Chain A
Amino acid sequence: MQAEDQPVVAVEARGLCKRFGKLEVLKKVTFTVPRGTTVCILGPSGSGKSTLLRCLNFLEQPDEGEVLLRGERVGVKDGALMKERELCAFRVRMAMVFQHFNLWPHLTALGNVIESPIHVLGRPRETAVEDGRELLRKVGLADKTDVYPHTLSGGQKQRVAIARALAINPEVLLFDEPTSSLDPEIVGEVLSVMKQLSSEGMTMIVVTHEMSFAHEAADAVLFMDGGRIVESSAPDEFFAKPRTERARQFLQRYVR
């Protein structure tokens, strides 16, 4: 009953364009992400995947186009760019997980997880700590709450980063190549946490080169090339018979 009142679309991008100097990185990118779904963005390096993700939470400011979060316009109010403070109110609704983790080195694992809940969202410390411990348990790091990031392995760091992302109760999780800087043997521990989140109904937008993850966990696949979404389909369809030649070539390189 309540679900009907809530918008079905979590994130919508309309005609996003982004230029760096003369280089057009995004050329009118449009897509929607329904609530509770996992969308994987695939494509060759330099096709604009990460820029697209960073335009969604305005870490990069798109030159044209709109981003809507549950129907609310992100980043622009009354025709002008929002102030950084107003942007932040939207950013904490879309938690980002970075390729290089970007944990804060001066804080412990738990400190990283509770930092934004306490100092941005204004939650009481006790509940933030309690929730933080629970989230670290969820990502399998209950024994690492009090250690500093530099003592953790890459896979552990990324799982702390995922716990940090979950701690702000985001409406959407944005993953920017979360396993690309990990050793092959520890990619699995991060992917299994992500699969679990996906199956629990988190809304996730995942830029990745992990084809098996996209195949198993995604509800939809967006294939980007040259700043455009050239193919958008269900994963079974995409991996079985891609419609474009460009996607076929791309997939061939990932066939094992």
Chain B
Amino acid sequence: MIAGFGIVAAHFREFAAGLANTLWLAGATLVLASVLGCILAALMLSRTRFVRTSIGLFVDAMRCVPFLLLAYLVYYGLPELGIRFDSWSSGLSALAVYHACYVAEIVRGAWSHLPREQIEAGRAYGFSGYALFRRVVLPQLFFAAAPLIGNQTVYIIKDTAFLMIITVPELTFVASSIQATYFVPFASFMFAMALYWIVTLVVEASVRRIEAAAETRRAG
């Protein structure tokens, strides 16, 4: 077993590359899911009933699907319809759309609880349209939704591991291939878990910092 860790240490570079891919995927997913989630949330709060209900149904349906199935569908299922992505694009788009639906629900909740008076003050002081959203709504949404988005980020990081089954060379993929090549499953998987754990700790520490900032900027 100790020898196993020796082998893992000798392949540190591969683990590091896998970790880098995992972080890249998680970061890109977070950005895409946040933007898409905000758009979906805005549509869920639309004044047009048809838009509101159809987007609401889509978001609810998406949240009922296991992520693994969605990844399979995008990578293996869509080519049947003539839509073909490589493994990276399939993985990233599946992650982004799937988590955008969770983010949409978080943002919608935070948005509908924002004090209307402060948005009205924005209108009274000359803000409208995108400027109103960007300067008045978004900062308040950010501080209201940050803790839950932070939580969602942890789920995003863990869901990137599913992409190994569609051959994206992220951390779990690397751990799996090293253990298969050198028969060191315990050391290899333990090491990968430790790396996930460290990344999650960093995410949680940043969320705590944002929460502290939100505390001084709370409504009132």
CA distance A153 to B124 in the complex (A): 23
CA distance A105 to B139 in the complex (A): 9
A-chain residues with CB within 8 Å of residue B140 when the two chains form the complex: 104-106
Q: How far is the CB of B47 from chain A (nearest CB, A)?
A: 14
CA distance A119 to B122 in the complex (A): 11
Interface size, chain B (Cβ < 8 Å): 24
Q: Is B135 a contact of A115 with CB atoms below 8 Å? A: yes
A37 in contact (CB, < 8 A): no
Given contacts A88-B128, A119-B135, A120-B127, contact A148 B121 (CB under 8 A): no
Which of A92-100, A189-197, A203-211 is the contact stretch?
A: A92-100
B-chain residues with CB within 8 Å of residue A96 when the two chains form the complex: 121, 124
B118 in contact (CB, < 8 A): yes
Q: How far is the CB of B117 from chain A (nearest CB, A)?
A: 4
Q: Is B128 a contact of A105 with CB atoms below 8 Å? A: no
Q: Is B220 a contact of A84 with CB atoms below 8 Å? A: no
A104, A105, A121: which contacts B126 (Cβ < 8 A)? A121
**Interface readout for B117-142 with A: 1 if CB under 8 Å, 0 if not?**
11011111111110100011001100
A168 in contact (CB, < 8 A): yes
Q: Is B143 a contact of A106 with CB atoms below 8 Å? A: yes
B118, B124, B131, B220: which contacts A91 (Cβ < 8 A)? B124
User: Which residues 76-129 in A have Cβ within 8 Å of B in the complex?
Assistant: 84-85, 87-89, 91-92, 95-96, 98, 100, 102-107, 115-116, 119-121
User: Which residues 93-137 in B have Cβ within 8 Å of A in the complex?
Assistant: 115, 117-118, 120-129, 131, 135-136
Q: Could you list 29 A-B pairs, sorted by A, with CB under 8 Å?
A: A59-B120, A59-B124, A84-B128, A85-B128, A85-B129, A91-B125, A96-B124, A98-B121, A100-B117, A102-B115, A102-B117, A103-B121, A105-B217, A106-B139, A106-B140, A106-B143, A106-B217, A107-B139, A115-B125, A116-B125, A116-B126, A119-B127, A119-B131, A121-B126, A150-B217, A150-B218, A164-B125, A168-B125, A168-B126
Using CB atoms and an 8 Å cutoff, list the residues of chain B in contact with chain A.
115, 117-118, 120-129, 131, 135-136, 139-140, 143, 216-220
